[in-house]
Structure 1
Amino acid sequence: MKSEQTPKVVQIEDQNHWPQVEFEAGNDDYSFTGTVGKDEKEERKESVKEQKNWKRWLGNLQTVFFWNRSVNTDEENAKEKKTAASIQHYARCDSKELLCQLKTNILGITSDEAVHRLACNGRNDVPAIKPIPWYTMLMTAILHPFNILLMTMGIISVAVPGQGPDMMIFVSVMVVISTAIRFSQEHQSQHTFHSMRNMVATTTRVGRVIDGTSTEVEIPSNELVVGDILRLCVGSILPADVRLLISKNLSVSQSTLTGEYLPVEKSAVSSKATVPTLDTANVCFMSTSIVSGTATAVVIGTGQNTYISTVYSMLNSKAIASASSSFDIGVKKVAYLLLAFGCVMVPIIVVLNGFTTHDFEGAAFFGVSVLVGLTPEMLPMILNANLAKAAVDMAKCKVIVRKAEAIQTMGAVNILCSDKTGTLTKDEIVLVSYLDSDMKMNENVLRNGYYNSYFSKAFHNSMDSAIFCKASELQMDSHKTQYSLVEEIPFDFNNRRVSVILQVPGGKNRLICKGAVEEVVSICTKVRRFTAETDWNDADLVEDERERLIQECQKLNCEGYRVLAVASKSVATVTDQNLDEVSFAGNDDHGLTFIGFLTFLDPPKTDCAQAISDFATYNVEVKVLTGDNLEVSTKICNDVGVSTINTTTGPKLSLMSPEEFEQTVLRCSLFAKLTPLQKLEIVNCLKHNGNTVAFLGDGINDALALRSSDCGVSVEGATQMAQDAADLILLEKNLTVVTKAMIRGRITYANTIKYIKMAASSNFGNVFSMLIASAWLPFQPMQATQILTQNLLYDFSQIAIPWDNVDPEFLIEPHTWSAKGIFKFMIFFGPLSSVFDIYTFMVQFYFFKWQGNSSDPVEAALQISKFQTGWFNEGLITQTLIVHMIRTQKIPFFQRWPSWQLLLGTGIIIVIGLAIPYTPLGTNVLQMSSLPWLYYPFLILANVGYFTVTQLMKQLYMHFFGEWL
C-alpha cells in the first residue's frame, strides 16, 4: 500500500556514526533528522517509550483476558522502509563515492578500525526466535481460559460457609490433568524440533590492512563490520548486505528471500533508476548465495542494519507475537459464555430455593453446587486429550506439532495461503521440452544443447544440470567421447550466450551456441527445418521468421517457461597452416543457424495437484503468495489446479488504497512479486475479514506470514527462520499430509464440541429443572454431594470422546468455535431434558407419593431420599446416553455407530450409577435409598421418550440453523 513517508539522506558528521537514510519526523515516532548524537537519540527514544507504556500495558491486558486479532506493524514497517531507503542510497552511489562515505577503500579497513566499528555497531548477528522457556510454557498451560473458569468455580465453592474442600479438590484435579497433558505435549514437540536443528558457526574471508599491508584474513562471520571488503565466488553465502564494486558474470540465488526459482544476474554498475529493493542489481543480501561468477564487494549493512533483520524484527515484534488465533478467540468466548450464564442463573436458583426452603445458607451451598454442575468440568481435559491424541496421530505422519492448538486450528482453516517455490514446486529446474523451429519436440535440439553445456568450462548452473539429467535419461551422453573442445567463447552479461567449438571426426568443426533467445536469434542468418529425425535443410532466416521465433519464445515465457535458444555453424578444421585464421574465425559467433528452443521449469510436486483437489473437496480456498514473477506462477497454478482468473502483483498492490487492497486480496487467488511484508499484509487482511488462515511456506520471505497466520506450516528443509515461525513442521515434503492435518483438526473439533454442546445443554437443562424444582418442592431435589457424584460419573463416561468416530459429512466443511452456536444449542435442547425431568418429578411426587410431608420424620426423610435417588438415576442415564444422540446428525446405532471405547464407557457408567443406591456408598455416604422395581418402567419410558423427541428436535434444529455440531 502507499507509503506516506518520504526518505531523505542525512549526512551525520560525527565520526562514530555512519551515513544512514532517515525519515522525516511525522508518523514515525522513532525518526530523526540532522546531526544527532547517540545520547540524544537514546533520550528521545526513552521519552517516546514512556509515553506509550500505558498503551502497551492495556494491550497486553487485552491479549491475556480477551483477544487481539489485528496486527499493527507500523513501527516495524518504518524500520523496513528506512533500511530499504539506505540500501537504495548506497546502490545509487558510484564506487569512489561509496567507499568515501563508508570510510574504507578497495584494500579494506585496518584491524584497529574493525575493532572500533565492531564495538560501536555491535556484532553481525541477527537473533533467531528463542525457544519458549519451560516455565513460560507451563504458565501458559495453567492460565488456559477453561482452567481459570474451573478454578473460579472452586474458589467460590470454598468461600461458602460450612462447605468443605471437596469441590475445590475436584476441579483442581481436572486442572492439573489438563495442564499436564498440554504442557507435556508442547514441551516434547519443542524438544523434538530444536534437537533436529544443526547450528554451525560460519567464517568469512575479508580484506584487511595489517601493519600497512593488505591481506586476506578469515574471521567469524559475526565479526564483520561495515566497510569490510569481501571476495565472492561460486558457493559463497552472503554473510551481510553488500554493494558490488567489481563483478564478472555474477548470478545470485535469492529464492529463500524472494521466492524466485532462478538465479538473478548482478553487476557492479550503479544505477539511478528506482526499483524494488530486492531487485537492486548491484546489491546482494544476507543469506543469498553465489551461483556463478566472481565479485568484490563492500559490506554496507550488518546485524540489525541488514534487510533480513527487518524481517526478524517484525517476526519478533509484540504486535505479531501477541496476535490471537481463531482458536484462542473461540476458546475465550466459550469460557466467558459459560461463566456469564452461570452468574445469571445461579443467583435466581439461590433466591427461589431460599424462599421455598427458608434455608438461605443451604440454598447458597446448593447454588454453588449448581454452578459447578453447570460448568463442564472435564472440558479442559477433553480438549487437551483431543489435541494430544491428534498430535500423536500427526507424529505418525511425520509431522511435528509445535503448538497443541495448531491441529484444531487447521480444522477451522477455510483459506490456505501457500508460497510457490519449494512448496508447490520441487525447487529444482528440469528440462521440459526441446523444440525445433516448427515447435515440435526434436532430440537434435537437445543433443546440441547438451554438447554445449558438457564441453563448456564455465560453472554449470541449474539449467545445465537439467540438460545433463534429460540427456542421460535419453542416453545421449554415450557419444560425447567422439568430440573434443577446440575453443570456448565464454558467457558474459552483455552477449548473454556461451559458445563452444568442437572438433568433429571426419568433417568440419562445429560451433554450438546456447543462450538468451533474443541475443542468439539476432546473430542467426539461417533456420533449420527438420523433415525427419536425421534429415533437414537450412533456409534463410528472413525478418518475418525472426519475428515469429521471438513471438514463440514470448508465448513460452507467458506460459511460465524459461527459454534458451540453441544455434550452430560449421567452422574450418584447425591445422598448423590456418591456425591464426581459424582462431580468428572461430571467435566470430555470428552467421549461425537457428536449431531450436530448450524450455525449463521448476515443476510442481507430484502430489501437489491431488493436494489442491483435496483442499477443494474439503472447502478450503487456496491462494498462492509468491515472490516469483507472474508468468511462471500462473503456469504452475494452472498445472496444479489453482484458479488464475484473478491475479495481481506486489507492485500493483503497493499503489492501491486500503479499500482497493482489501477488495483485491479477497478476490484474487494468485499474488506474484510480493515482498515479505506484503505477504504479511495479505494474511492480516484475510484474517481481518473473518477467515481462518493457514500459511504454507519454507523461505525467509515466508516467515512473517507464517507467524501472523492462524496456523503456519513449514518443512524440515526450510530456512531456520521459517521453521521458527511455524506451528507445524512437515518432516517430509508431502502436501497430502496438510490435508490429513486438516481432517485431524476437524475430528478434534468435532469430538471437543460434542462434549461442550452436550454438557452445556444438559447442564442448562438441569439448571432449568432446578429452577422449577426450587419453586415447587419443599425440599432440595438432589443433594450437593449427589450432584457432584452424578457429574463425576458423567464426566468419566466422556473420557473416551477423543477416540470417537466422526461423521464423514461433518469433515467436509471447516468449523470454528462459536459461542453463539453453543448458546443456541443450549437454549434449544436444554429445556428439552427438563420436560422429562418434570415428568420424573410428577411420577415420583404424585404416583409414588415421595413428597416428604409425612408426620413421621424418618418416613419423610426416606421419601425425600427416594425422590432424590430417582432423579439421580434418571438424570445420570439421560446425561450419559445423550452423547450418542448428539455425536451424530444421523440416527444413532441405526445409521451411525460410536467407537467401541465410547460405547463401553457409557455402558459401564450407567451400570455403576444404577448400582450405587444398593451399595454402602449410596446408602451411607450419599444418603440414597433403594427404589421399587415398579419405578424402572417409568425410567425406561422417560429415556425412550427423551431420545425420540431429541431425534425429532435434531431434525428441526438442522432445518432452521443448517448445522448440527
Structure 2
Amino acid sequence: MKILFIGVDIMKKILENKNKLILSALNNTDKVLEVFNSSLEGISEKEADKRLKEYGLNKIPHKNKKTILKRIAEGFINPFTLILFALAIISIFTDILIPFFKNEEISFLTVIIISTMITVSGLIRFIQEYKSDNASEKLLNMIKSSSIVLRENIKKEINSENLTVGDIVFINAGNIIPADIRIIESNNLTVSQSVLTGESEPLEKNNSVCNEELESVTDYSNIVFMGSNVISGDAKGIVINIGKDAFLGDIANELSNINEIDTSFTKGINSVSWLLIRFMSIMTPVVFFINGFTKGNWIEALLFAISIAVGLTPEMLPMIVSACLAKGAVSMSKQKTIIKNLNSIQSFGAMNILCTDKTGTLTMDKISLKHYFDINGNENKNVLDLAYLNSYFQNGYRNVLDNAIIEYVEHNEKNFNNKELENYIKINEIPFDFIRRRLSILLKENNNIKMITKGAFEEMISICSYVYDDEKVSKITELQREELNKKINSLNDRGMRVIALAVKDIKINDENQLQDLEEIKKLENEMVLVGYLAFLDPPKESSYEAIKKLNEYGVDVKILTGDNEKTTINVCNKLGININGILLGNEIDKLNDDELKIKAKKANIFAKLYPHQKSRIVSVLKDDDNTVGFMGDGINDVLAMKMADISISVDSAFDIAKEAADIILLEKDLTVLEKGIIEGRKTYANMIKYIKITASSNFGNMFSVLMASILLPFIPMQSVHLIILNLIYDLSCTSIPWDNVDKEFLKLPRKWDASSIGNFMCWMGPVSSIFDWSTYLIMYFIFCPLFVSNGILYNKLGNYYNGADLANIKTMYTSMFQSGWFIESICTQVLVIYMIRTAKIPFIESRPSKQVFLLTFSSIIILSIVPFTNLGHHLGFVSLPKTYFIFLVPCIFAYILLVTLLKKVYIRKFGELL
C-alpha cells in the first residue's frame, strides 16, 4: 500500500471537495441548486466566465504530459549514460587530477569525448521525442471533447474544458463523464466506474436523494464522476467539481505514479540493454587485471579498461530506439494518424490480424433511408411517421439509423410539421442494449399511451404476435412470417440493413407504474408488427484494394459486425472480397475457447455479434500467437479494443472508444492503416539493425580485446584511440533511424524476439574477431618489424637496443601497431553496417539511405586520414606505409565476403537475418 505524504492545505482541499459531493448526494435538487448558485435554466455566460477564472479550466494533470525538464532528463538519464558519466568522473581523476599533482601532462580529451557522447545521445533523443510529441499534440488538439450544457435556458455544445461549477450538463450513452455531477434528471442511466474503482460491472444511477452517508463517495447512486463512462441511458445534472478538484483529480498524483505495464517490446529492449551492460561489467575488470599483471603499468591498464568500458557501452541504444519510434510517429502524423502510445508503433508493424467493423471501413459510413415498407412490401407513410417518433423522442445514444430517419423526414417530407410533435408527451423509454437489440418509447397522445419499438428484425419478430394489415390488426400467421423473412433476406442480399417497427397500445390506470424500467420491459411482448425500414450504406470502392494490400503485407482482415451476415456478404461480394468462412454470434456461444480458436482462424466474417463476443474472438486469436489489432468507434467495440494488442479508433468515435485507443485516425480508411503498418515495420527494422549490429560488434570486440590483452606485450590501442573510435562509430550509427528498408522485409509482420539477438550475436560477433586477430598477426610479425625495427620482433628488441633507443623503438613499434588496428577497426566496424542492414547484396540489390552512406563513409575517410596528420601524431598515431593498404583492401574484401557467406548460412538456418 502506498503512503502519500500530502500537505495540510491539499488535504483540506480534498476533504472540501469530498464534502461537496456528500452534501449534494444527501440533499434534494432545489437545495443543491441553491448551494451552487445555479438554476434549472443554467448559469449565464457572464457567470460562467467568472467561475472559469475562479476554478480554472476543467482539466486534470495528465500523467503523460511532460515538462521540458522532464523530457531533457529522460533524454540524458538511462543506464548507459550513467555508466559514461561514471567513466567521465574516473577519467577526470586519471587524466587530469593525478597528472596535475604529479606535474605530468594533463589530457582533457577523454573527458571531452565522453561528454560529447552523452550530449549527442541525449540531445538527439530529446529532439526526436519532442518533435514526435508536438506532432501528436497538434493533431490531438484537432479532436475536441465537447459537452452539451444549458446556459440561460439555451442548450449549447461547448468544449469540455470550459465546463464549470454550477453548469447544467446533459450526458448520454457513449459519453465519458466530463466532471463530478449530481444527477437531477435521469432515464435508465447505467455507468461504468471501473477507471475509479476497478469494478467492471456497470452501476445504475438516478436522481433520487440518498438518505444516509456512505463509506465511499463512489457508492452514491445520484453522483457520477469525471472519467467514468455512460453505458446506457441519459441524464441531466449539475456540475459539482471540475478539473483537479474532481474526484479523479484528487487521485491524479497517485495515478501518475502507476507505471505502464511493459510490453514484449520494452521487455526485449531492456533484456538486450542489461545483457550488454553485463558484458561490459565482466570484461572491464578482466581486461584491467590482465593488462595490469602482464604489462605492469596499472594506471595505463585502468585507462585502457575505462576505454573498453566506453567501447562496450551501447550508449546510443536509447537514442536509436527513441529516434526510430519518434520518426515513425512524426511520419504517421503527416498521414493524419495520432500515436497516443509511442511503443504501439512497433505493435502496429507486428500486427498480423486486423479485426474491424463493416461500417466505415468496407462502406462509406453514409447511411441513408431507402425504403419504409408495410408488411406487404408497400411504401407506407405510417411506418415512417412511427419510426420518426421513436428516433426523435429517444434520449439515449442516437445512432446512425436514427439520424438517417430524422434527416429523411425533416428534409424530404413536404408536409412535415415540427409543431405536431407537441401533441405527444413522452412517458418513458427502454434504451437500446446489445442483448435485446431494440429500443422502445412510451408516448401519450390524447390520453392514449402507445409503445413504439424498433430494432433488429429477428429480435422484433420474436416479440410480435400481431400484424397491421389493410388498416386492421390481425394475428400473425406462419405464412406471413415466412413471407416477411423472404422479403428481409432479399433486402439483405442487396446489401441493405433492415430494422422492424412495432406498436402496442398500453392500457393502464396509474401512469406512475410506467416509471419502473423492469416493469415496462415486460410490456415488450404481443406487439403489432407495422412494417420495416431499409437503409443503405454504399460500399467503399477503395476497400477492396486496401484489404488486398493489407493481405500482401501479411495482415489478415476479419470483419466483426453486429449486422446480419447477408448484408455483410453482399458488401464483400460487391467489393470482390473473398469469404473464407462465416461465424455467427449464436454459433460462437455454443463453442468453447479451443473450438472457437479453430473456427476463428479460418473465418473472416463474424456477424450478429454482441460486444463480449467481439472481445472473446480477439482473445482466442491472441492466444493463437497472433498480434491482433482492433479498429472500432462505438461503445460495443471498447471491450474488444482493450483486449487487442493494438487498438485503433477514429476522431469521430465515441469518447470511450477514443480513450481506449492506442492510435487515432483522422480518416476512417483502411488505406491509412496500410501506411501505418509499413511505418511500424520500418521502425522495427531500423531498431533491430542497430541492436544486432551493436550486440554482435561488442561480442566480437570482447574476444579481440581479451586475446590482445593476454598475448600482446603492450596495450593494443591507446585509451584515447578507443574513445575516438567509439565516438565516430556512434555518430555514424545515428543515421540508422533514417535508413531505407528492403521492400521484402516490409511484406511480413514480425514480433519482437529477444532470443534471435543472442543467436545473431554468437554467429556474427566472432567474424570481426577473426580479422582483428589477422591484423594483430600481420602488424606484429610483418609490418612493425619490417618498417620499424629492421625485422626484429617486439619481444626481442631488448637484445639489440637499450636506453633511449629502446624506448623510442618500442614506442614506434606500438604506435604503428595501434595505428594499423585503429584503421582496420573503423573500416570493419562501419562496413559491417552495410552487410547486416539487409539480407541482400549491399549496394547492388539494396541501397542504404543517403544519411547512412554519407555518415559512414565520412567516418571511414576521416579516421583513415587522422594517423597521417599532425593531430594524429599528437594523439600517438604514426603514418602507415602504403603497403599497409595493400594488405587492408583484400582484408576488408575477405571480411565482407565471409560476412556475406555467413549471412546466407544464418538465413538458411534461422529463416531471416533481422
Q: What range is the shorter-chain TM-score in?
A: 0.5 to 0.7
Q: Equivalent residue of 2:534, what SS? A: strand
After superposition, the C-alpha distances for 1:285-318 in whole angstroms (9 at most, x for unaligned) are: 99999999xx9x79799989xxx99999999957
Letter in 2 for 1:848: F
C-alpha distance in 2 between matches for 1:415 and 1:316 = 36
CA deviation after TM superposition for structure 1 residue 810, in Å? 1.1
The verdict on how the C-alpha distance between 1:140 and 1:614 changes in structure 2, with shifts beyond 3 A counting, is: farther
Q: 2:127 aligns with which of 181, 184, 190?
A: 181
State the partner residue of 2:815.
Answer: 865
The answer to whether the 8 Å contact 2:60/2:249 transfers is no
The verdict on how the C-alpha distance between 1:424 and 1:298 changes in structure 2, with shifts beyond 3 A counting, is: same
Letter in 1 for 2:534: T
The verdict on how the C-alpha distance between 1:130 and 1:320 changes in structure 2, with shifts beyond 3 A counting, is: closer
CA deviation after TM superposition for structure 1 residue 859, in Å? 2.6
The answer to whether the 8 Å contact 2:633/2:657 transfers is yes
C-alpha distance in 2 between matches for 1:866 and 1:103 = 89
C-alpha distance in 2 between matches for 1:124 and 1:184 = 25
Q: Equivalences for 1:441-590 in 2 at 5 Å? A: 445=379, 463=401, 466=404, 518=461, 543-552=477-486, 561-564=497-500
State the partner residue of 1:962.
Answer: 911
CA deviation after TM superposition for structure 1 residue 947, in Å? 0.9
C-alpha distance in 1 between matches for 2:701 and 2:710 = 14
Letter in 1 for 2:65: I
Q: 2:721 aligns with which of 770, 782, 786?
A: 786
Letter in 1 for 2:482: R
After superposition, the C-alpha distances for 1:390-443 in whole angstroms (9 at most, x for unaligned) are: 2332222122334544433422334545577777776664346778989xxx8x
State the partner residue of 2:267.
Answer: 329
C-alpha distance in 1 between matches for 2:391 and 2:633 = 34
The answer to whether the 8 Å contact 1:497/1:520 transfers is no
After superposition, the C-alpha distances for 1:704-762 in whole angstroms (9 at most, x for unaligned) are: 87678665443333445554554433233333222212211211221222222223222
The verdict on how the C-alpha distance between 1:636 and 1:730 changes in structure 2, with shifts beyond 3 A counting, is: farther
Deviating more after overlay: 194-203 vs 641-650? 641-650
Q: 1:882 aligns with which of 809, 818, 832?
A: 832
Q: 1:740 aligns with which of 675, 680, 683?
A: 675
Deviating more after overlay: 149-158 vs 906-915? 149-158
C-alpha distance in 1 between matches for 2:318 and 2:668 = 33
C-alpha distance in 1 between matches for 2:827 and 2:32 = 85
Q: 1:171 aligns with which of 117, 126, 129?
A: 117
Q: Equivalences for 1:135-174 in 2 at 5 Å? A: 135-144=69-78, 146-148=80-82, 150-151=84-85, 154=88, 165-174=111-120
Q: 2:759 aligns with which of 813, 824, 830?
A: 824
The answer to whether the 8 Å contact 2:337/2:663 transfers is yes
1:378 aligns with 2:316: yes
State the partner residue of 1:950.
Answer: 899
State the partner residue of 1:397.
Answer: 335
Q: 1:674 aligns with which of 598, 603, 611?
A: 611
State the partner residue of 1:774.
Answer: 709
The verdict on how the C-alpha distance between 1:768 and 1:467 changes in structure 2, with shifts beyond 3 A counting, is: same
C-alpha distance in 1 between matches for 2:62 and 2:597 = 30
Letter in 2 for 1:561: R
State the partner residue of 1:39.
Answer: none
State the partner residue of 2:294.
Answer: 356
CA deviation after TM superposition for structure 1 residue 941, in Å? 0.8
1:842 aligns with 2:791: no
CA deviation after TM superposition for structure 1 residue 368, in Å? 2.1
CA deviation after TM superposition for structure 1 residue 822, in Å? 1.8
Q: Equivalent residue of 2:743, what SS? A: coil
The answer to whether the 8 Å contact 1:763/1:830 transfers is yes
C-alpha distance in 1 between matches for 2:390 and 2:116 = 78
State the partner residue of 2:15.
Answer: none
Q: Equivalent residue of 2:858, what SS? A: helix
Letter in 2 for 1:330: G
CA deviation after TM superposition for structure 1 residue 828, in Å? 0.5
C-alpha distance in 1 between matches for 2:426 and 2:367 = 20
C-alpha distance in 2 between matches for 1:549 and 1:859 = 107
C-alpha distance in 1 between matches for 2:759 and 2:357 = 39
CA deviation after TM superposition for structure 1 residue 610, in Å? 4.7
After superposition, the C-alpha distances for 1:187-238 in whole angstroms (9 at most, x for unaligned) are: 424642564454667545999xxxxxxxxxxx988548xxx9x999999999
Q: Unpaired runs of 5+ in structure 1?
A: 1-47, 55-100, 117-121, 208-218, 258-265, 269-281, 500-512, 529-539, 568-592
The answer to whether the 8 Å contact 1:696/1:712 transfers is yes
The answer to whether the 8 Å contact 1:128/1:721 transfers is no
C-alpha distance in 1 between matches for 2:721 and 2:740 = 31
The answer to whether the 8 Å contact 1:126/1:303 transfers is no
State the partner residue of 2:508.
Answer: none
TM-score normalised by L of structure 2? 0.66
Q: Equivalent residue of 1:561, what SS? A: strand
The verdict on how the C-alpha distance between 1:807 and 1:487 changes in structure 2, with shifts beyond 3 A counting, is: closer
C-alpha distance in 1 between matches for 2:831 and 2:440 = 76
Letter in 2 for 1:902: V
C-alpha distance in 2 between matches for 1:908 and 1:952 = 27
1:754 aligns with 2:704: no
Identity %: 33
C-alpha distance in 2 between matches for 1:143 and 1:707 = 32
CA deviation after TM superposition for structure 1 residue 955, in Å? 0.9
Q: Equivalent residue of 1:835, what SS? A: helix
Q: Equivalent residue of 2:771, what SS? A: helix
State the partner residue of 1:31.
Answer: none
The verdict on how the C-alpha distance between 1:637 and 1:246 changes in structure 2, with shifts beyond 3 A counting, is: same
Q: Equivalent residue of 1:562, what SS? A: strand
Q: Equivalent residue of 2:726, what SS? A: helix
CA deviation after TM superposition for structure 1 residue 837, in Å? 1.8
C-alpha distance in 2 between matches for 1:793 and 1:651 = 59
CA deviation after TM superposition for structure 1 residue 956, in Å? 0.6
CA deviation after TM superposition for structure 1 residue 872, in Å? 1.3
Letter in 1 for 2:307: S
Deviating more after overlay: 518-527 vs 182-191? 518-527
After superposition, the C-alpha distances for 1:471-512 in whole angstroms (9 at most, x for unaligned) are: 99xxx969989xxx999999998997999xxxxxxxxxxxxx
C-alpha distance in 2 between matches for 1:486 and 1:836 = 89
The verdict on how the C-alpha distance between 1:796 and 1:139 changes in structure 2, with shifts beyond 3 A counting, is: closer
C-alpha distance in 1 between matches for 2:903 and 2:717 = 29
Q: Equivalent residue of 1:934, what SS? A: helix
C-alpha distance in 1 between matches for 2:175 and 2:331 = 41
C-alpha distance in 2 between matches for 1:873 and 1:457 = 79
The verdict on how the C-alpha distance between 1:377 and 1:453 changes in structure 2, with shifts beyond 3 A counting, is: closer
The answer to whether the 8 Å contact 1:514/1:520 transfers is no
1:904 aligns with 2:854: yes
The answer to whether the 8 Å contact 1:865/1:927 transfers is yes
State the partner residue of 1:388.
Answer: 326
Question: Number of matched residues?
Answer: 762
After superposition, the C-alpha distances for 1:905-944 in whole angstroms (9 at most, x for unaligned) are: 3332222222212111111x22111122222121111011
Q: 1:935 aligns with which of 854, 870, 884?
A: 884
Q: Unpaired runs of 5+ in structure 2?
A: 6-23, 39-54, 99-106, 154-161, 196-204, 208-220, 431-438, 444-451, 504-527, 786-792
The verdict on how the C-alpha distance between 1:312 and 1:417 changes in structure 2, with shifts beyond 3 A counting, is: farther
Letter in 2 for 1:906: T
The answer to whether the 8 Å contact 1:779/1:864 transfers is yes
Q: Equivalent residue of 1:848, what SS? A: helix
C-alpha distance in 2 between matches for 1:625 and 1:126 = 35
State the partner residue of 1:810.
Answer: 745
C-alpha distance in 2 between matches for 1:236 and 1:835 = 65
The answer to whether the 8 Å contact 2:867/2:878 transfers is yes
After superposition, the C-alpha distances for 1:229-273 in whole angstroms (9 at most, x for unaligned) are: x999999999989999998xx99999xx9xxxxxxxx999xxxxx
Q: Equivalent residue of 1:564, what SS? A: strand
